[in-house]
Amino acid sequence: MSLYHAFSPEDAIAYAKSITGFFAANALLACEEIGDGNLNLVFRISDPQQNRSLIIKQALPYAKVVGESWPLSLDRARIEREALEIQHQLCPELVPAIYGGDNELAITVMEDLSDYTILRQGLIDGNTYDNFAEHIGLFIATTLFYTSDLGMNQQDKKLRSARFANPDLCKITEDLIFEDPYRNADNNNFTEDIRSEAEKLWQDHALHLEVALLREKFLTHGEALLHGDLHTGSIFVTSDSTKVIDPEFAYYGPIGFDIGAVIANLLLNYAAQPGWCDNHDILQERRAWLLSTINGVWNHFEQNFRKLWDANGIDFMSKTPGYQDLYMRKILQDTIGFAGCKVIRRIVGLSHVADIDTIESELHRRQAKITALEIGKRLVKQGRMAASIAEVIEWAEAAAAKEGANV
């Protein structure tokens, strides 16, 4: 009989007290549930007098976003905690500390980041984060290099890969990103004013071919332990710090998938800009910052990954002249293709982004979707031939240049 039950605030406080040495024994603890409640409960437990706090995250046995009918394995809490522990060990500055957890209860106890802003909200609010590209580039390069066959014992990697099989969460990605947007699926979710655009996606066989190739990579290429859901809602920021959270989708997959997720979400914010900026100059400036951040994400990733490879690569054959260049080119192409898939699914698929959906003007909202689809399709279709991140910048600028006079 499982011990699992969804925590009440009182349960969360009692559990927090059981974490040795964190709160004083006689502390008066407060608790608030701060999760968005789609997949998890998130309790913030605090001792206001000592100004100490922590987070207890508990997995729910279903995905609320589609009702209780989409059951999800509670084992994802173990996967998330184990991934966080690996990532924290590799990048202690960029991942919250883990204080404990319990597999049966599906909980993880971790550092409270209440001083941080969710990057997606920070971007919607018009903020800039000039260290973000450097931080995330370092995070991606470090966590992926040291969990790949290039940077860790190749036999241990196989055993680790087995611990992160994660079928339930991968299924969400496989359906929502790599299939539903390309057919008239029940789970799709788009406004009627872009129906013709959605229908074009269902008919576009050249697009489908590239998506099929990317889907195959997602299904079969176990290159590194991915975060697996690295959108701007999984990243906390301040002006000088970045923390990556929520790796419950972690599994061994293609390296470009994580980088693509970051870039896709920056591009979605890019597409949304006219909905947030009245002032043409400010709009141009924000868009330029977003594109420069995309450029920076890739370049910091690439520089760090190559540096780790040269200094700490464990694979004799991987030191063959020319191989690293081919490998980086492949990651770039994968990154661009995956970014495109992730942009497209946020417009016509089940789950959207606030960057676009909260734009007040219907006209601007529609234009943002059109621009995003324009960029997304180009990334998917041309990613396999791309040679440089500059092409992504160019395609984003070209899509913006096509926006109507009403924007």
> What does the binding site for a second copy look like in residue numbers (CB under 8 A)?
149, 154-156, 158-159, 161-163, 165-168, 170-171, 174, 178-179, 182-183, 205, 208-209, 211-213, 215-216, 219-223, 251, 315-318, 320-323, 326-327
Distance CA 97, CA 113 (A): 10
Is 312 labeled as ligand-binding? Answer: no
CB 195 to a second copy: min, Å: 21
Question: What DSSP assignment string belongs to 292-359?
Answer: HHHHHHHHHHHHHHHHHHHHH---SGGGSTTHHHHHHHHHHHHHHHHHHHHHHHHHHSS---HHHHT-
Return the number of the residue (113 or 207) whose C-beta is nearest a second copy: 207
Per-residue burial over 234-271, b = 16 or more CB atoms within 10 Å of its CB, e = otherwise: bbbbeeebbbbbbbbbbbbbbbbbbbbbbbbbbbbbbb
Provide the CB-side half-sphere exposure for 365 (13 A, CA). 17
Is 247 labeled as ligand-binding? Answer: yes
Is 248 labeled as ligand-binding? Answer: yes
CB 205 to a second copy: min, Å: 5
Distance CA 163, CA 258 (A): 19
Distance CA 289, CA 123 (A): 11
Comparing C-alpha atoms, which of 175, 165, 168 is closest to residue 225?
Answer: 165
Is 268 labeled as ligand-binding? Answer: no
Is 345 labeled as ligand-binding? Answer: yes
Return the number of the residue (310 or 394) whose C-beta is nearest a second copy: 310
Is 229 labeled as ligand-binding? Answer: yes
Is 246 labeled as ligand-binding? Answer: yes
Return the number of the residue (158 or 307) whose C-beta is nearest a second copy: 158
CB 199 to a second copy: min, Å: 17
Comparing C-alpha atoms, which of 200, 140, 189, 150 is closest to residue 338?
Answer: 140
Return the number of the residue (315 or 403) whose C-beta is nearest a second copy: 315
**Helix, strand or coil for residue 47?**
strand
CB 260 to a second copy: min, Å: 17
Amino acid sitting at position 373:
L
Comparing C-alpha atoms, which of 231, 267, 264, 257 is closest to residue 332?
Answer: 257
**Helix, strand or coil for residue 89?**
helix
Q: Which two tokens stand for residue 112?
A: 């409270």
CB 82 to a second copy: min, Å: 14
CB 227 to a second copy: min, Å: 18
Return the number of the residue (41 or 63) whose C-beta is nearest a second copy: 63
Is 102 labeled as ligand-binding? Answer: no
CB 168 to a second copy: min, Å: 7
Return the number of the residue (209 or 398) whose C-beta is nearest a second copy: 209
Return the number of the residue (224 or 396) whose C-beta is nearest a second copy: 224
Return the number of the residue (157 or 346) whose C-beta is nearest a second copy: 157
75-90 and 132-145 helices cross at what angle (nearest 10)? 110
CB 330 to a second copy: min, Å: 9
Binding site listing for ATP: 40, 57, 111-113, 246-248
Binding site listing: 40, 57, 111-113, 229, 246-248, 345
